[in-house]
Structure 1
Amino acid sequence: MAQKDSNWERELLTNLATDYMRDQRRQRRWKIAYRLLILVFILISLFTFSPRRSMDDALRSKPHTALIDIEGPIFSKSPANADDIAASLKEAYKDKGTTGILLRINSPGGSPVQANFIYNELRRQKKAHPSIPIYAVCTDMCASAAYYIAAGSDKIFADPSSLVGSIGVIYNGFGFVDTLHKLGIERRMLTAGVNKGFLDPFSPMDDQQKMKLLSMLDSVHQEFINKVKAGRGKRLHDNPDLFSGLFWTGQQAKSMGLVDDLMSPGQVARDIIGAEKTIDYTSGGSFFEKMAKRFGAEVGVSLGTLLGLGSPLT
């Protein structure tokens, strides 16, 4: 009986050891496969960069529309920011084949500072390259800071259903004074400087501070208005709500002079700029995001290049 128990234990240990070794080999194979996959990815990147660069150079030397996307909120740390857009503009103007620049905008707005930086850069580049027009095309939304940017272009286009405008400035905040009282919490804030606790949410709103904030908002709003007037000029129509913060459809915006015409990005590239071939100059994104974008479009771009075609817009 003892011999049988010993054999059973030995067989169990042998099976466990065998299973363990099998699992180890399986994990090792997966590790090797994973590392090989990374190596292949790196090698493909290295080997495709040079041919792609030469193909891109060949395509960029031919007449084309330079596309720059302004997508999402506009802030210094967002994908749509002044530094990246300025870099995109610089890259687009550097290529001899750039016939025109198309800003494809889909944004609810953002920082007036970032918008002003971009607006000023557009005006500077237009002055330096008067023969290369800059057109803004509003897709789903071109509001607030996004329209601020669009106003710096030569012409603005939109879809009839685009949301355009919102020429205003907003501040959002909350007050929790009554909440603290109900919870039995005493606010203890000490400051050196009478306005150091400006807009503290746990203190009652001070009338003088409120007036100061409204004055600041009015100043930023007036700067926004001035830039829109400078960019649009006599194309703007008199309307009491024009600078009230309201927004309109593309069709309505056209009747107010906020938009020049109703066209898609593809129509503008083809019919206005006269270069249906497009090259995307949008900067930004991490290395892996850029690589994913490259591999995702690799086949289409390569075939288009070989056939002498750019990437057509819709």
Structure 2
Amino acid sequence: MKRFIPFMKKDPVVPVIRLSGAIGSGRAGMSDAGLAPVIEKAFKMKPAAVALVINSPGGSPVQSSLIAARIRRLAQEHQVPVHAFVEDVAASGGYWLACAADEIWVDGASLVGSIGVIFASFGFSEVMARQGIERRVVTAGKSKSFADPFLPQKPEDIERLRAIQAPIHQAFIDHVTARRGSRLAEADLFNADIWVGQAAVDLGLVDGVAHLVPKLRSLYGEKLRLLPLGQRRSLISRLGLNVAQEALATLEERALWARFGL
């Protein structure tokens, strides 16, 4: 009631944005377009801070960058501190999102890191050969069919993929370095390793072991109000339509989680 009475001091408010799942522009993943309304709403509340609850194995580097950039831009515009709380995992793009916060807190068993870039696919050339199936490809441009899973892998294709990965990896490194700065240890942190809980604290990848409610109350007082916010699923997704695409997206996300035993 007091928030409607003029001149009375209001209890501090912290919106809690849940960033959970794989990151991507598809229907099932977290995306900048899908999260934009939630993030914008959180910072417009004139909060004491904004909290991010992160549980993500990663995904699209572009969407990770766009979401993190939006959070940083609004934090600076509104002069609002941002705290990230990691649940099971903040790896790869999930850690990219965590670095959008001013401080990152983890559980003692949280998995953090995987600062790298991966390209994964399958090869079917030998299966096709055994079945007597011939692959016929006609292209305009010699690189148009590179990394074709139905053709044998070529050394030049591997080099092209590494050339693509290198600037993406560097952008990730630059983001982590800019956000974590002198807090980072001088160890090799950018080779896609994973660290657990306190080990991530010791390396400066995160700031401490703490959970959302007690930590925020210690910072902003016992009368703190937490307002949960999350990305709304599309009507098609909620109704279970387009089952084939939903199933494929689920399989892709399960593969990401499986890399961390989850």
Distance 1:106 1:123, change over 3 A: same
Identify which of 42, 46, 50 aligns with 1:101: 50
Aligned-partner SS, 1:281: strand
TM-score (structure 1 length as normaliser): 0.69
Is 1:66 aligned with 2:15?
yes
Other-structure match for 1:193: 141
Name the CA distance, whole Å, in 2 between partners of 1:289 and 1:202.
Answer: 32
Q: CA deviation at 1:266?
A: 0.9
**What TM-score does the superposition give when structure 2 sets the normalisation length?**
0.82
Which SS does the other structure have where 1:99 is aligned?
coil
Q: What is aligned with 2:224?
A: 276
Q: Which one of the candidate residues 196, 199, 206 is aligned to 1:259?
A: 206
Q: 2:187 aligns with which of 222, 239, 262?
A: 239
Greater relative CO (CA pairs within 8 A, separation 6+): 2
Matches within 5 A, 1:160-309: 160-240=108-188, 242-274=189-221, 276-286=224-234
Q: Which residue of 2 aligns with 1:50?
A: none
- Aligned to 2:173, the other structure's residue is in SS state helix
The aligned amino acid for 1:261 is G
* Contact residue 51 and residue 84 of structure 2 kept, 8 A: yes
Q: Which residue of 1 aligns with 2:253?
A: none
1:85 aligns with 2:35: yes
* 2:15/2:49 contact within 8 Å kept: yes
Gaps of 5+ in 2: 5-9, 239-262
CA contact (8 A) 1:163 1:247 kept: yes
Quote the Cα distance in structure 1 between the aligned partners of 2:63 and 2:41: 19
Q: Among all aligned residue pairs of Structure 1 and Structure 2, give the percentage whose two residues are the same amino acid.
A: 37
**Matched AA of 1:263:** A
**Superposition deviation, residue 209 in structure 1:** 2.1
State the Cα deviation string for residues 94-144 of structure 1 (Å, max 9, x = none): 123x111000001111110110001111221122022x2111110111111
Name the SS of the counterpart of 2:16 in structure 1.
strand
**Is residue 70 of structure 2 the alignment partner of residue 113 of structure 1?**
no
8 Å contact kept, 1:266–1:276: no
Task: Specify whether residues 150 and 169 from structure 1 end up closer, same or farther in structure 2 by C-alpha distance, changes over 3 A only.
Answer: same
RMSD of aligned alpha carbons: 2.1
Q: Quote the residue 2:78 is aligned against.
A: 129
Which amino acid in the other structure matches residue 193 of structure 2? Answer: L
Structure 2 distance, partners of 1:128, 1:73, is 28
Call closer, same or farther: CA 1:278–1:250 in 2, change over 3 Å.
same
Determine if contact 1:104/1:136 at 8 Å carries over to the other structure.
yes
Change (3 A) 1:288 1:276: farther
* Contact residue 99 and residue 273 of structure 1 kept, 8 A: yes
Give the deviation of 1:150 after TM superposition: 0.8
